[in-house]
Structure 1
Amino acid sequence: MQPNLTQILEVIKLGEKLKHEMRHSWLSNGRQESVAEHTWRVSLMAVLIEPYLTQKIHTSKLLKMIIIHDLVEAEAGDIPAFDTLDNQRLKEQKASNEMKAIERIRDMLGSELGTELYELWLEFEQKETYEAKVANALDKLEAQIQHNEADLSTWLEIEHEMSFLLDKHVQFDPIMQQLKSLIEQEAEAKLVDGGVDVDAIKNKLYNPSHSS
């Protein structure tokens, strides 16, 4: 079967939008980060961590999953995680927008390729397979790494707390837990250096009944 290169080119052009779709993350030089830059480094992390994971993983599948996951933001835009934490309506709207976007990408490509990418995107969202859990964990960890590298003044207060809420994403694999611990330690050191009361944050998160 000959590929429809015209359809493939259209999706490649769609990907260009991720180069100027901005995330709520800033680089160490003070410039705002694009979605494309985030996705690239999540992919790099996958390549570097893959040999040390406790289970054998399909690397090609993992990389495809990471890359296609954020492609929907070329149409749906990027909504920071903290915006949907306590906003069910916005969370549902985000999910709806992204579903429409991946369906359009599937239809743009057509053929088995479109179906494959659509199913990989759904697999990531469901977070049930080992590859999907790794992809999700790396996605969350890269975001924290980027925060750690940015000036503390770019952090929102909610992001101080979110630095200590990564456990649920890495519990499935001890190597991912170790990586998370290193990243969390860097975040804590940055907050302490910036005069943030980390003990109060931890007390609020881990002992909410005793916080005031």
Structure 2
Amino acid sequence: MNNRDLINFMTMIEKLKCQTRHSWTSSGRQESVAEHSWRVAVMALIVAENFPRIDLTKLLKMCLLHDLGEAVTGDIPVFEKTEQNQVTEKEAIKFILSSLPDKMARDFQDLFDEMEEMTTEEAQLMKALDKLEVLLSHNEALIETWIPKEYSLNLVHGDQYVEYSDYLSGLREEIRQDTIQKLKSANKI
């Protein structure tokens, strides 16, 4: 990749720092897509020791790239995302990847295909961590940033993505207990 193409690509994905998510930080501001992806990758680094068969490099690539399309589409909360939104995001990913050298674009597209198929342990772990990070973010944010449907959603969100692993199920349960405590403290349950 030549320098100009690298600069152009980095300028395109810089929008991930500008696109805000539905989640809020503990300081009371909306988080960016880039912050979310970074924290999913850090979680992957930390929990990887519990998954000795995974390819850590592949997992980290997935974590860092999984929301790449949102540089174009912006973040759409899971409870608002439609099939058309998913199609639009896939098109955005292809558009962004088209600015990369052919082999790199194919390799990255293969990662996106693998994440969509969810047949590898890396893809399953990335999806679970993606969901768990969202829950952590919500628990860290002020309850005033939650919308009413999140009071119940945060108790079940991501459950199906952690079931395959005792470790992840235990982590999910610990996060659920924090959610319950937060909701009780705010008299929301």
Judge same fold: TM > 0.5, yes or no: yes
Letter in 1 for 2:6: I
Q: CA deviation at 1:133?
A: 0.5
Q: Distance in 1 between matches of 2:168 and 2:7?
A: 36
Q: Distance in 1 between matches of 2:94 and 2:142?
A: 38
Q: Which residue of 1 aligns with 2:56?
A: 59
1:177 pairs with one of 147, 169, 172: 169
SS at match of 1:156: coil
8 Å CA contact retained: 2:37, 2:65 = no
Q: CA deviation at 1:7?
A: 2.4
Q: How many residues align?
A: 188
TM-score by length of 1: 0.85
* Between 181-190 and 163-172, the greater mean CA deviation after superposition: 163-172
Q: 1:21-40 residue pairs with structure 2 within 5 A? A: 21-40=19-38
Percent identity between the aligned chains? 39
Q: Distance in 2 between matches of 1:25 and 1:72?
A: 18
Q: Who wins on radius of gyration, i.e. which is larger?
A: 1
- 1:15-71 CA-to-partner distances (Å, cap 9, x unmatched) read 211111000111111111111111110000000000022x51100000111111111
Q: Which residue of 1 aligns with 2:69?
A: 72
Q: 1:148-159 residue pairs with structure 2 within 5 A? A: 148-159=139-150
Q: Which runs of 5+ in 2 are unaligned?
A: none
8 Å CA contact retained: 1:82, 1:158 = no
SS at match of 1:163: helix
TM-score by length of 2: 0.95
Q: CA deviation at 1:14?
A: 1.4
Q: CA deviation at 1:99?
A: 1.2
Q: Is residue 121 from structure 1 mapped to residue 112 from structure 2 by the alignment?
A: yes
Q: CA deviation at 1:124?
A: 1.2
Q: Which residue of 2 aligns with 1:146?
A: 137
Q: Which residue of 1 aligns with 2:3?
A: 5
Please list every run of at least 4 consecutive aligned residues from structure 1 whose deviation after the TM superposition is greater than 3 angstroms. none
Letter in 2 for 1:51: E
Q: Is residue 50 from structure 1 mapped to residue 48 from structure 2 by the alignment?
A: yes
Q: Distance in 2 between matches of 1:127 and 1:11?
A: 27
